Structure 1
């Protein structure tokens, strides 16, 4: 990260011409907004009703995803970069604009909002005006985009106001680099209606009949000083009628000039309300909807301590631009922690209700892949699980009320996500005339599968692991027993577990997978190391859970899958532990292998490591029997020793030492730069001289932030301080301006090269920073 980018992370301040390459994102209850540094909106997303086949609705100023291009990775990458291109061009977004040079801009997330409220401050019109903009997603799903423009001079001003409402409503893109299933695409036609509201307000409605989703927009202009409403000029609105997606975009927008006397403040409020209405009845009658004729209170624009007068706020604004008035307790580590936690809670957790109860789908990100992904979800939920009441109180000692709000929101997300996984997500599928039971790669928020028949072994493990760790985290709470019992009694729990166990290979005692944790085809190497490590870990955890007295008596309503050697409803802790033991022995027997590497001196030498995957149909001496590789997505291999895989069942210290050395050698090899032709890990990108050389993935070019995390965490595990410092510097300097992380970065600059929004690495990095931030908070209090 350049000094300029590092300064953005610390201060979130953007000079004219130096905007970030990532949007400012806020959200609540499944509704999200992405904006530029002026608070202008690039995209709004909102979940449709549970019965919709489209999942999520978006309102945006660009054309909808081209369904015909869904299997074209180049198109998918370009579609994901649309907000980035607008930021590079410093393009205006939906909402208000006041013309002229604007900035530098100071942006901030309002901490008490838990990711739903952001503020933007800047001078305009040569310093004659001070603009405060607020962007907030309210609990009822409406979005407030509001600005206060204050005349800071002793002269009258004419404020030029433009209003961009040229957007279309469609479904989310869901573009995947390795697409395995399609989602229906609605007709692109949008219907626009406009009419005047009370007190000079204006109202716009945009409805996609085929999608069954609409967006209503309400606009109020108000002189806060004179307490007078100002009529919104109808010419600011797009023409009513029928338009095709993409929306018609004006080259030059009409301006409404508003008089503002010395010291006066103009308040302008644009409210967006997304809605579901397949029949169009509510949309057709929206002129009768009574909008609250409110211009918003000072809390929208107030600083954390309550300061809200424009003169006082501008004084602080100028001080922040000079580097003063910074919160001493706000460190790089704390920014990363809170931003990623807030992103999960605000932008990724989508609540929904159905006959199964209240559930929460957690999407991988809110823009590129707003799909429920059981693998990503585990790591997202895991960081939340680490933030118990005691830890939150240590992190927020001066705001215990906020700590309590976080605790309640986190507990609700964790509990209802289990409901979504086991009661809402569709897990049965008919394949060749037989029903099988497994979690699919990804899901629409309503629990309908996005992907088809592809089977991922690791995806089956993570939900079970999540159940076990939920119980471990909250076992002292009286309701936890009943929550877990309700999950254990679901058909999904038992059917998927029985189906999973029936897939054990009789020759190797291992479990095959169609794809890697990177969603890449395993081909002939279907026995995959990290997936089998994860399975072993899961079976051990499940065995421990089901051995508890309160769960031993449960009768599971299961269906025996084909080829199963288990009796119906015969899953017990003893069986799970036995299969786990056999799986562990098979992992250690089948994956340890030798392969040749060229040492630094040029000599050829043979090293013993764990293979990435193997093909049992090939002879043990065949060098192509094993695939030697390691991927940024293969976290279970990193945790193999910490989870106890390398412990000897016989207490043999020599065996444990051998296994530990083999694992360490595997990870050192995986995290060492070099040419694949010389035997180095093909998954490692770079030659060690580049600033951001590191572990990547076949799935997408470049160094992955998950790879930086792996090297950082491995260095901590083995006590390698130099490696730890190097990896932390790469993490810190590849963080985006707000503390989130992209999927992959450029090897020289650390800037995003793939998927700007990606919650998984941020969740893992945040989890590993919790104790560091607690220590910083405590040191700050002492200091």
Structure 2
């Protein structure tokens, strides 16, 4: 299959841009606008996630420096191009006077078109997984469109460091030191090999001119910092001639195990990846939201759903900045998959719908098996965040994160009726319920938490939206218990008591009206606040905790989207609900306001939020953590799957129902 035969979708010229992402589960990558591969990341059995990138690893003395964490996260966005290859690696056209266009080939693979005079270069980036091996192919198709021979100077190589991903957090819950960088770099024949013996791991890059090996200038180097290697070459193309250059990148979990393959196999892996690409529908109902929905589904499945064995799948919150798993984030990511599976006929061509449905079931089931069987619970509860191998990075108790796995189990059975999986996980359910009961107040049917859903410390130990979530989870489990009988607890009765005590203890006066407090000590002290991370509050009417015309709930949401919500609402042209965790408006908050507008039938507010989302969304359809309230520029985390998943779920329901 040639480049000319592919379908292209031009990327919009939006305000917020970031490297383009592509992946195949075990491996994921990001590509800069200059065509440099910014990173190739790969799952690792010991370290969780490792990365091949041009930057140095996170310094082990900076874990608790939140400002440095923010700066380090921006390194792949702000890195200047000093010379060819310094911002990444690959096969790169030399000089900077190329006109560029940006596409997604087959609505999936990043494609960058370089044009200068009579020369056109199409660079496409294709990940693949075959027989336990994951890799990425960069293919450049270089064409001389003129009437005389032309020379095309190229730079091959780049800057390389192979190390563990950083896992640096703004509220660090327990740093895991990064092993020292001990690199061995070898350029020989048509390959580059980068080995870090302290991981251990090895990255291998192979280069081809047509089907022939592209011979490189030899070099060997030992280093504890990134290594730069640039091989300069020049192609001479006759008039009308096209030439393909190919790079294959492989990352191995062990050093010293060279891959054995032929160029024909590379072509077969590439063609298979093209053939397996999702087939999107042309249904006009999707409108402007089509890119957002499809790209967020695609990002979850390709870059964030990481198989760790034949059955289990870890869901990471992003592949680039924090390749860790939060039960909270992953629940809403899986919720988008379940919602999309239910409405697949509106999203995909009929021939692809069964493939998509099967992939969703395997992914959601795999994630359940990972949470219940792989994720380690040192003190019986799920911690804050996890490595892909199930290691608990932050051993902190958050009440909501104990509920989400149970709720996802109920959602999964409601959709797929997979009795075998429920029976397999049944012994864990009662064990987790017993653990949650240990955090119950001595008098009230309310439960303590150690941190908020924003991963921040609590002023008072009882958190409103988490109580709503406990209530909803208990009701869902009660329904499941009717079929499987995994506990003798009177779950429905307990749920009613939780709701009663939540209404008794969290209703607070404010400005002559009543609303739900954010935190309470159950003794009359409250914190009035609402956070973009607190989705159960906006879901309360959908789940049946209250009606959408309940004045206490409406007052809570109106408070949330107003200046009265100190340190939670940020005023400005792009203002909105955010979080004290990163003090700016969050797209998660915009998603809450969009859902709120739908629930109360406020068409004007809905349209206003939709216009804002269209302006702040990044050009690939993904949303960041936070934007500037005055400019709309990304302030924090260009990579963050949860907000796009939540917003896309709201779009799916509003468009398909």
- TM superposition score normalised by structure 2: 0.92
> C-alpha deviations, 1:547-573, integer Å up to 9, x for none?
12xx12x5xxxxxxxxxxxxxxxx32x
Q: Measure how far apart 1:109 and its partner are.
A: 4.4
CA gap of 1:535–1:37, structure 2 versus 1, over 3 A, is same
1:653-664 equivalent positions in 2, closer than 5 A = 660-664=550-554
Report what 1:122 is aligned to: 114
1:488 aligns with 2:403: no
C-alpha displacement of 1:58: 0.3
Alignment of 1:44-443 (within 5 A): 44-49=40-45, 52=46, 54-86=47-79, 92-100=87-95, 101-111=97-107, 115=108, 117-123=109-115, 126-140=116-130, 141-196=134-189, 202-222=190-210, 229=212, 231-234=214-217, 239-245=219-225, 247-249=226-228, 253-277=230-254, 280-282=255-257, 286=258, 289-294=259-264, 297=267, 331-353=287-309, 358-388=311-341, 391-396=343-348, 399-429=349-379, 437-443=380-386
Q: How far 1:683 sits from its partner (Å)? A: 3.8
Contact 2:9–2:106 (CA under 8 A) maintained in structure 1: no
1:472 to 414, 419, 438: 414
Instruction: Give CA-to-partner distance per residue, 1:422-474, whole Å, 9 cap, x none.
Output: 01110132xxxxxxx1111110001110102x210000010000000111111
The alpha carbon displacement at 1:191 in A equals 1.1
How do 1:354-753 residues align onto structure 2 when only pairs under 5 Å count?
358-388=311-341, 391-396=343-348, 399-429=349-379, 437-452=380-395, 454-475=396-417, 480-490=418-428, 493-523=429-459, 525-548=460-483, 551-552=484-485, 554=486, 571-572=487-488, 575-596=490-511, 606-617=512-523, 620=524, 625-646=525-546, 660-672=550-562, 674=563, 680-687=564-571, 690-753=572-635
User: How far apart are the structure 2 equivalents of 1:513 and 1:298?
Assistant: 52
Q: Residues of 1 paired with 2:80 and 2:614: CA distance? A: 22
Name the stretch that deviates more: 442-451 or 507-516: 507-516
* Conserved? CA contact 1:512–1:528, under 8 Å: yes
Work out the CA distance in 2 between the residues paired with 1:108 and 1:142.
19
Determine the C-alpha separation between the residues in 2 that align with 1:215 and 1:744.
34
**Alignment partner of 1:483: what SS?**
helix
Task: Show CA shifts across 1:721-753 (max 9, x none).
Answer: 111111111112110001100000011221210
CA distance 1:467–1:728, shift in 2 (3 Å): same
SS at match of 2:99: coil
Distance 1:20 1:248 in 2: 31
- Is the CA contact (8 Å cut-off) linking 1:395 and 1:774 kept in structure 2? no
> Aligned residue for 2:279?
none
Residue 232 of structure 1, CA deviation? 2.3
Q: CA deviation at 1:81?
A: 0.2
- Per-residue CA distance 1:8-60 (angstroms, 9 max, x = gap): x994166xxx99631100011221000013432001100012xx1x1111000
In 1, are the aligned partners of 2:100 and 2:112 still within 8 Å (CA)?
A: no
| Distance 1:329-1:630 versus aligned 2 partners, 3 A rule | closer
Once the two structures are superposed, residues 698-726 of structure 1 have per-residue CA deviations (whole angstroms, 9 ceiling, x without a partner) of: 10111010111111110110111111111
Deviations 1:303-327 (A, max 9, x none): 999xxxxxxxxxxxxxxxxxxxx99
Summarize the Cα distance change of 1:327–1:35 in structure 2 as closer, same or farther, 3 Å threshold.
Answer: farther
Are 2:643 and 1:757 equivalent residues in the alignment?
Answer: no
Q: 1:89 to 1:702 in 2, by over 3 A?
A: farther
Contact 1:744–1:754 under 8 Å retained in 2: yes
Match of 2:17 among 21, 44, 60: 21
- Cα distance in structure 1, aligned partners of 2:346 and 2:19: 31
Indicate the residue corresponding to 1:31 in structure 2.
27
Contact 1:19/1:37 (<8 A) preserved = no
Structure 1 gap ranges (5+): 1-8, 197-201, 223-227, 306-325, 430-436, 555-570, 597-605, 648-655, 675-679, 776-783
- Deviation (angstroms), 1:503: 1.8
SS in 1 for 2:510: strand
Look up the SS of the partner of 2:263 in the other structure.
coil
Figure out how many residues of one structure are paired with residues of the other and give that number.
639
Q: Which residue of 2 aligns with 1:4?
A: none
Shift of 1:268: 0.8
Secondary structure class of the residue paired with 2:185: strand
Q: Which residue pairs with 2:3 in the alignment?
A: none
How far off is 1:295 after superposition? 8.9
SS in 2 for 1:440: coil
Aligned-pair CA distance for 1:401: 2.7
Note the C-alpha offset of 1:352: 1.1
Given the superposition, is the C-alpha separation of residues 511 and 632 from structure 1 closer, same or farther in structure 2, using an over 3 Å criterion?
A: same
SS at match of 1:255: strand
Structure 2: distance between partners of 1:96 and 1:342: 26
What is the distance in 2 between the residues matched to 1:684 and 1:32?
34
Tell me the SS of whatever aligns to 1:494: helix
Secondary structure at 1:139 match in 2: strand
The TM-score normalised by the length of structure 1 is 0.78
